[in-house]
Amino acid sequence: MKRILVAYVLIALVTGFMFLRLTDYSFGTTKKNIPLQSEIFKAGDGYGYQIELEDKVLIKQEYIPILEGKRPFTTAQDAERTANKVISKILKKESPILTISELKELQIPEFNQY
Amino acid sequence: MKYIYNMKERVNHIRMLTMASLTLCLMASCSSDDDDDDLGNWVDKSVFDGSPRSGSAYFTIGNIGYSGVGYDGDDYLTSFWAYNMDGDYWSQKADFPGTARNAAVGFAINEKGYIGSGYDGLDELADFYSYDPSTNTWTTIAPFPSTPRRSAIAFGINGYGYFGTGFDGDNDRKDFWRYDPSTDSWSELVGFGGDKRRAATTFTIGDKVYMGTGVSNGIYLNDFWSFDSATESWTQKLDLDEEDDYSIVRSNALGFTLNDYGYIATGTYGGTLQSIWEYDPSTDTWESKTDFERTSRQDAVVFTNNVRAFIGLGRTGSLYLDDLEEFFPYDEYDDED
């Protein structure tokens, strides 16, 4: 009886351990929890953003992409909406290229004329 | 008893797995410690970088690499990116103002970059544009006055741009032209004795530009040339298959310079290649370096300022790659980084 009890405890430990490993593993592979984040910073008389993976900067945008010249975003909100769009594209495994139509959709005022 | 049996089986299973993985580890470490390995190491630089595309045009100004246009498998592109070598990050810059294209050339003259020629999916192109990094603006320059073409080569040296060879839609070309930014004009150069070709490559060491590889009518070319920028004359060097153990001949390769040695890397010869060869201009000889770590590729880009070199963005068949690696030619190969 004692032996069976010990066996039970051992099995519980082993399966518990394996279960933990398994869930850990599946979290890592299915959820693709890439720790991407954006940071908005003051740039000239406006705002820029950077996309970071943990502590590493992947993209730094001091100026509005696509547009000629060095024009920062007018508001921090514009910069943040654009940064979030880039993150969502990377998470969807899409290219992080922003297009004119996407920036229009994000209601970045500089793209109203397009 | 049944449970105990199961448990034992499990323990056995774990023990076997442990043994197997230990064996694998030992085998792996044995193979990577091989003393006969070529020198040269690759370090993975970015998780993401720019965009997966091929046939992009590229040039380097100072510590910034610029890469734009290209083909992503669905669309020809106009987006244009800058890679900061020191900060190891990318920025999307002002869009290329011409039609979306691939197989264009890129080169830098002094502090400005140039992109032109190429293929838009229908036609070969002859228009050229200059990019000013200080203002992030593009300017239309004089179009190439001869046959529009793609897969040409171009380089900037001594205050001029040079452009030649390529495929015009019907034939491969062997003509070379000079672009003078001070007069915004093109003039033809004579004296290149090599054959017509497309998808060749160049690298610059000091005041000389070295040119070779490429393909024409399915034949890979083995001749190798140096261009003296002071006299604008070509000199033929030893062939790329001079020694029996050379396997440098290819097309769609990258050419770059690091610490005054030249390199020809990746590209295609039948299939895509991972190999990289180092050229010593003082002896006119080649040495094999550690293969490119990732999937083999053609139509990649390279950013180099003679002090550092980064390679990325190519394709293998229909798979487009979006990673970038820094090449350290004198480090021992380390597969852990």
Q: What is the pLDDT of residue B129?
A: 98
Question: Which pLDDT value is given to residue B258?
Answer: 93
CA distances from B270 to B12, B20, B199 (A): 48, 37, 14
pLDDT tier, A16 (very low <50, low <70, confident <90, very high otherwise): low
Task: Supply B240's token pair.
Answer: 């790329």
- Structure letter (DSSP) for residue A91: H
How far is the C-alpha of A77 from the C-alpha of B234, rounded, in Å?
Answer: 57
Q: Which backbone phi and psi does B31 adopt, to 5 degrees?
A: -70, -30
Q: Exposed (0-12), middle (13-18) or buried (19+): which is A102, by Cβ within 10 Å?
A: middle
Partners of residue B136 in chain A, C-beta under 8 Å: 63, 68-70
Q: Is the CB of B138 inside 8 Å of chain A's CB atoms?
A: yes
Percent of chain A with pLDDT over 90: 49
Residues near B241 by beta carbon (within 8 Å), at least 6 away in sequence: B222, B248, B249
* Residue B287: exposure state from Cβ atoms within 10 A (0-12, 13-18, ≥19): middle
Q: What one-letter code names the amino acid at A75?
A: T
Average pLDDT over residues B228-246: 96
Mean pLDDT of B39-66: 71
**Torsion angles phi and psi, residue A90, rounded to 5:** -65, -40
Mean pLDDT taken over chain B: 84
- Alpha helices (H) in chain B, listed in sequence order: 2-32
Q: Please report, to the nearest 10 degrees, the dihedral formed by the alpha carbons of residues B8, B11, B17, B23 taken in order.
A: -100
Query: Does the pLDDT of residue A78 top 60, yes or no?
Result: yes
Contact B89 A53 (CB under 8 A): no
pLDDT at residue A32 greater than cutoff 60: no
Run of H or E including A40: strand A36-43
Distance CA B175, CA A61 (A): 41
Tell me the C-alpha distance between A43 and A64, whole Å.
Answer: 11
Task: Chain A: give the shortest CA distance to residue B104, in Å.
Answer: 19
CB burial of B288-302 (b: ≥16 within 10 Å; e: otherwise) equals bbbbbbbebbbbbbb
Residue B92's closest chain A neighbor by CA? A65
> Do B150 and B166 meet the contact criterion of CB atoms below 8 Å apart?
yes
pLDDT above 50 (res B317): no
In the predicted model, what is the mean pLDDT of residues A98-112?
Answer: 95
Question: In whole angstroms, what is the distance from residue A66 CA to residue A103 CA?
Answer: 9
Q: Is the pLDDT of residue A90 over 90?
A: no
Residues 6+ apart with CB under 8 A from B108: B59, B60, B61, B114, B156
pLDDT digits (tens, 9 = 90+) for B279-312: 999 999 999 987 776 655 666 788 888 888 888 7
CA separation for the pair B312, B14 (Å, rounded): 40
Residue B149, min C-alpha distance to chain A (Å) = 27
pLDDT number for residue B12: 52
Find the mean pLDDT for residues B61-80: 90
pLDDT in tens, B141-196: 999 999 999 999 999 999 999 999 999 999 999 999 999 999 999 999 998 989 99
Between A29 and B258, the more confident residue is B258
Confidence of residue B320 (pLDDT cuts 50, 70, 90): very low
Note whether B300 and B313 are within 8 A (CB).
yes
> B51 and A69: CB-CB below 8 Å?
no
Nearest-neighbour CA in chain A from B90: distance (Å): 5
Of B52 and B183, which is predicted with more confidence? B183
Residue B140 CA to residue B129 CA, distance in Å, equals 5
A103's enclosing H/E stretch is helix A100-105
Residue A65 pLDDT level (bands cut at 50, 70, 90): very high
- Is the pLDDT at A58 greater than 50? The verdict is yes
Whether B46 has its CB under 8 Å from any CB of chain A: the answer is yes
pLDDT category at A80 given cuts 50, 70, 90 is very high
Please count the residues of chain B. Answer: 337
Task: Inform me whether the C-beta atom of residue B79 falls under 8 Å from chain A C-beta atoms.
Answer: yes
Distance between alpha carbon B215 and the CA centroid of its chain, in Å? 16
Distance from C-alpha of B268 to C-alpha of B71, rounded to nearest angstrom: 18
Which of A97, A102, A103, A114 is the best mutation test for B, with the most CBs of B within 10 A?
A97
Query: What does the pLDDT read at residue A30?
Result: 38
B209-228: average pLDDT: 97
Which sign does the torsion angle of CA A34, A39, A43, A45 carry?
Answer: positive
The pLDDT value given to residue A93: 73
Report the C-alpha gap between B57 and B155 in whole angstroms: 12
ipTM summary value? 0.77
Instruction: Verify whether the Cβ–Cβ distance A58 to B3 is below 8 Å.
Output: no
pLDDT of residue B44: 55
Quote the pLDDT of residue B88.
Answer: 84
Confidence of residue B48 (pLDDT cuts 50, 70, 90): very low
pLDDT band at B337 (very low <50, low <70, confident <90, very high): low
The pLDDT, as a whole number, for residue B279 is 98
